[in-house]
Amino acid sequence: MPKAEIENIELLCLDVDGVMTDGGILMDDHGVETKRFHARDGLGLRIWMRLGYHAAIITGRKGMVVAHRARELGIEHVVLGVDDKRAALEGILKQLGLLASEAAVLGDDLPDLPVMCAAGYAMAVADAACEVRSAAAFVTTRPGGQGAVREAVEHLLKAKGRWDEAIGLFG
């Protein structure tokens, strides 16, 4: 996608398992689910939002651990347990008054393909399914749960010419 189109991106939409995490699902004997998130991904999302952009999570799984992480990061748009991720994205876009062309999606597996194809800019993590990588305009060098979200944020902000501004938030 040309830089001019990336400049229109206002919303970064993420899957969870395999994108924000390494895809592993840990459950204890009581059925309580636990996930491991990368701190740099969280900081990347905070930077993205501090610069005035929106972030959303759309995932097929239910679980309070995702809601807790989203709340901790300040992500307001969270859709859990959804089968139709494309429809979920359309709902978020409507709430925000944005067009699909203003959304970027970072995915990793087949259920992400419809929402990636609906968005203005599709991205995949390095260890995504080959069909997902093929559908992406940008593929991270890092796998899901290992800084891929941060890499995607940096990619978008550098293309927008705002990475120096992001660095300046800390200096």
Task: Going residue by residue through the chain, which has 171 residues, state the pLDDT in tens, using 9 for 90 and above.
Answer: 455 589 999 999 999 999 999 999 888 999 888 899 999 999 999 999 999 999 999 999 888 899 999 999 999 999 999 999 999 999 999 999 999 999 999 999 999 999 999 999 999 999 999 999 999 999 999 999 999 999 999 999 999 999 999 999 997
Please name every residue paired with 27 in a beta bridge, in sequence order, or none if there are none.
33
Q: For residue 88, what pLDDT is reported? A: 98
Q: What is the pLDDT of residue 5?
A: 85
Q: What is the structure's pLDDT at 43?
A: 97
How much is the pLDDT for 33? 85
pLDDT of residue 4: 54
pTM: 0.95
d(CA 152, CA 161): 14
* Domain ranges, ordered by start, for the chain: 3-166
The CATH number fitting domain 3-166, selected from 3.40.50.1000, 3.30.750.24, 3.40.50.720, 3.40.47.10: 3.40.50.1000
SS3 per residue for 90-147? HHHHHHHCCCHHHEEEEECCHHHHHHHHHCCEEEECCCCCHHHHHHCCEECCCCCCCC
- The pLDDT, as a whole number, for residue 84 is 96
Kindly report the backbone phi and psi dihedral angles of residue 46, in degrees, each rounded to the nearest multiple of 5, phi listed first: -65, -40
Q: Which pLDDT value is given to residue 63?
A: 80
CB 158 within 8 A of CB 18: no
